[in-house]
Amino acid sequence: MALRLPPLPALPPLARRIFGGVLLVVTVALTPVTATAGFFAAAFATANVPLLALCGLVVAAGTAAALGRGAFALLGKGGLRATCVLTGVLLLGVCALAAGTVFRPMPTSASAPVPADVRFWNLPTGSRIAYVHAPAVGTPRPTPVVFLHGGPGTPSEGIPTGGRELAADGFDVYAYDQVGAGRSTRLSDVTGYTVARQVADLDAIRRTIGADRIIVVGQSWGGSLAAQYLLAHGTHVAKAVFTSPGALWGHEFPGSAAGDPWDHLTPAQRAARDRLDSKPRLIAASLLLQINARAAHALVGDGELDHWMHEVALLGKDTTSCADAAASEAHANPQGFYSNQMTVKDFEQLPDPRPRLRAIRVPSLVMRGSCDFIKPAVTEEYRQTLPDSRIVHVKDAGHAISHDQPALYTALLRSFLLDRPLPTPAS
């Protein structure tokens, strides 16, 4: 004989109404949450933003319908019509919320006129690269100098400090905007921003200017890139200068482990940075970057995020120098957000370059400012790894030695490249 349990006692009418009201509130609160979850979950499978939005709405509709029906049943007002009305109202609310936050465009920068001295290379890699050139004066030397900017994605403007003096010494001098930054190509597929692409572009530039060997001068991330180029094409490098270089191996110093440039923001600057970082559309793009970078790019394009990155750069442009340093001048050459994010991510996944670099004998000069936010161990690793290198410690200079101590920086460059004694002893 089967054992039959007695039926559960029915809830009193008041309890049913209370539970129904609570479930109704939960339905209203959970619907936008599940819409968000459905949107981001779909990004694992597609980068199509309308499809992501549709998936979010479908999940939200299912949540609203299931919970709403239960709530109305408890309230004694059940029925398909009430559930449909609730679901429709909540979906309209989700759409309105999304339109005012995630789908509301952020500001973009107006296109500034291209300076008269900026030219372009159309490289065989597919990159259209903006560059400036200071021709050699007098009898040209056979080895041109190529400056590599930092970031990734934070180009300078014009010929860098020391470049005109090197040109007067007979060097052809070039500075260019790396792919995805400045006035150079923005890639339609952001997963193409890799260290290998940056190295390939630099070698294509070497061949385009007709040089068998070049001298590379890398600032910050440009130092990391110079080391990677040395690793891949060491026979084509005559000399290398690493100025306040970033990590030699990204896996060892990921993120801000090499040093945080935002440590010295004032309270007002930190509050401004928090406001810049709190935009829902930016947060959505940042989350999508962890799931599907193509989806992030499809949702928020280069113009908006390059502008955001430029605003951040302006906020912190003087926080990496010594406390009493003069303010640096801002410029309008655009930042490159996706180049920054994707190249850094790729850099941190590369194998250890140090064993192979120890076998490459290229004369190298490493400079470090006394106020540099980059940890001393990061800079020292260049001297320890590169067998034909020496390091100079520059007093009263921060991360941008060329800005804080321009005369000494220029003298160091010229002396090293002209094989003269350095004005500051090296170790």
Question: Under 8 Å CB-to-CB from 398, ≥6 apart: which residues?
Answer: 320, 321, 322, 325, 369, 371, 372, 373, 404
Complete domains list, the chain, with CATH: 13-100 (no CATH), 119-417 (3.40.50.1820)
Whether 197 and 126 have beta carbons less than 8 Å apart is answered as no
d(Cα 135, Cα 169) in Å, to the nearest integer? Answer: 10
Residue 81: pLDDT band by 50, 70, 90 thresholds?
Answer: confident
Q: What is the pLDDT of residue 286?
A: 97
Residue 424 has pLDDT above 70, yes or no: yes
| Peptide linkage before 353 cis (omega within 30 of 0) | no
Q: What is the pLDDT of residue 4?
A: 64
Partners of 217 in the β-ladder? 147, 241
190-205 pLDDT, tens digit per residue, is 999 999 999 999 999 9
Distances (CA, A) of 241 to 7, 383, 386: 83, 11, 12
Residue 6 has pLDDT above 90, yes or no: no
Q: What is the pLDDT of residue 328?
A: 85
d(Cα 403, Cα 210) in Å, to the nearest integer? Answer: 31
**Residues 60-70, mean pLDDT to the nearest whole number:** 93
Q: What is the pLDDT of residue 318?
A: 85
Residue 111: pLDDT band by 50, 70, 90 thresholds?
Answer: confident
Q: Exposure of 276 by Cβ count < 10 A (0-12 exposed, 13-18 middle, 19+ buried)?
A: middle
Residue 10: pLDDT band by 50, 70, 90 thresholds?
Answer: low
Which three-class secondary structure string do you get for 3-66? CCCCCCCCCCHHHHHHHHHHHHHHHHHHHHHHHHHHHHHHCCCCCCHHHHHHHHHHHHHHHHHH
What radius of gyration do the chain's Cα atoms show?
28
Maximum C-alpha span of the chain: 110
Residue 9 has pLDDT above 70, yes or no: no
Residue 341: pLDDT band by 50, 70, 90 thresholds?
Answer: very high
Q: What is the pLDDT of residue 236?
A: 98
Residue 220: pLDDT band by 50, 70, 90 thresholds?
Answer: very high
Distances (CA, A) of 419 to 93, 143, 147, 226: 70, 14, 19, 20
Q: What percent of the chain has pLDDT above 90?
A: 81
Q: What is the pLDDT of residue 265?
A: 87
Amino acid sitting at position 98: A
Q: What is the pLDDT of residue 184?
A: 97
Residue 7 has pLDDT above 90, yes or no: no
Partners of 175 in the β-ladder? 132, 147
Partners of 391 in the β-ladder? 366
Residue 14: pLDDT band by 50, 70, 90 thresholds?
Answer: confident
- Supply the mean pLDDT for the chain: 94
Within 10 angstroms of residue 83's Cβ, the number of other Cβ atoms is: 21
Residues in the chain: 427
Token code pair at residue 137: 């004066």
